[in-house]
Structure 1
Amino acid sequence: MSITDQVVDLMPTLLEQTGVMMWIVALSLIFGGIAGTIVGTALYVTRRGGIMQQPVVFWVLSVIVNTFRPVPFIIFIAAVQPLAREVVGSGIGNDAVVFGISIAATFGIARLVEQNLMSVDPGVIEAARAMGAGPWRIIRTVILPEALGPLILGYTFAIISLIDMSAVAGIIGGEGLGNYAVAYGYRQFDPVVTWSALVIIVIVVQLIQAFGNILARKILRR
């Protein structure tokens, strides 16, 4: 059988696993993105000089983020299995994978959000405060909208990182294109499976990055 015929035969499975991968990434981005945005925004506003300056709160949040963010994901996802059993009812499978990736993404996205919010012109914030706007209103109507372009680029980077994390899903029984490439390509010495999966992942990443760049560019031009 030629390589082309092998790829054609593999395509239904490859597309199915691509869909599973994107489902895992999408759910993880929703949960981890929301939590990460909240934590990152809290880090920004509670730091010294922030509109809700609380050095103790900032220090606690910073220590938590710095503790978990550097942990290699392959170790992290195995370590959170007991917690996953309590929350989603199982320590293995796609639900446990989404749970683990969501937590890991929270810490990474929190730093991305904090760093991108730092790009907001302090003068704009001071102008809003001078007009009598409260901290919560400034966050909603000034800080987040002003940083939206850089935030989109940050979230684009986060999505690509989540695709990378999903490849480790097999360690706890998860599915997805990355795990399929490892389980049925690398471990079974089938380079056609490995390279077919790799090409699809590269295409998906390129499309996501291009879309993120275009969207961010449009917002930054406003």
Structure 2
Amino acid sequence: MPITNAADSSLVFYTNPQSRGQIARWALEEAGAEYRQKILEYGAPMKTVEFIAINPMGKVPAIVHNGKVVTECAAICAYLADAFPEKGLAPSIDNRAEYYRWLFFSAGPLESAIVNRSLGVDVKDEQERMVGYGNYNLVLDVLSQKLQSSPYIAGERFTAADIYVGSHVLWGLHFGSLDERPGFKEYAARVSERSAYKAAKDLDEQLIGNN
């Protein structure tokens, strides 16, 4: 669906093209949602009184849909799947175990492991029980095993969980923050062929090119 300039749009998307907002935009494109975008630069524009009222963390992305605020990329993916059920981005309620499991595995252990590794945080053996992800290599091995067992993270078809997991794998392989494991490249190729992914990527690349 097109980006709209209508002031009364029911969905407003706050983002920066060089941020995790790329994940949320992909989710919006998969959902077929019409939305109005507000591009915020890093620094003061993300700390205004108006935006802090939306996200007290002062970070993007965030969406406001029919007056309801959703922040955090995994939550945005899950919310949009439910808000636009006709797109089939979430399994039926009684088939969501894998969907929830891997969506939140990636929002917790996977992202924490990648960020800590990138920041040079070294978890000692005796500290692993205190850390939700245990250790970096364990997280990657577990994800690798899963991605070799089915074409998508929750089974045989693409879901909103693949937007979030796929973004981490694509980003990590591209920037080298994610060591390669069996199944990663194949999965990345599979999800990046989606038309919604390509449309979202083109929109953000255009914005980056205009800056």
Normalised TM-score (structure 2): 0.30
Higher helix share: 1
Q: Which has the bigger relative contact order, CA under 8 A and spacing at least 6?
A: 1
**Structure with the larger strand share:** 2
Larger Rg belongs to? 1
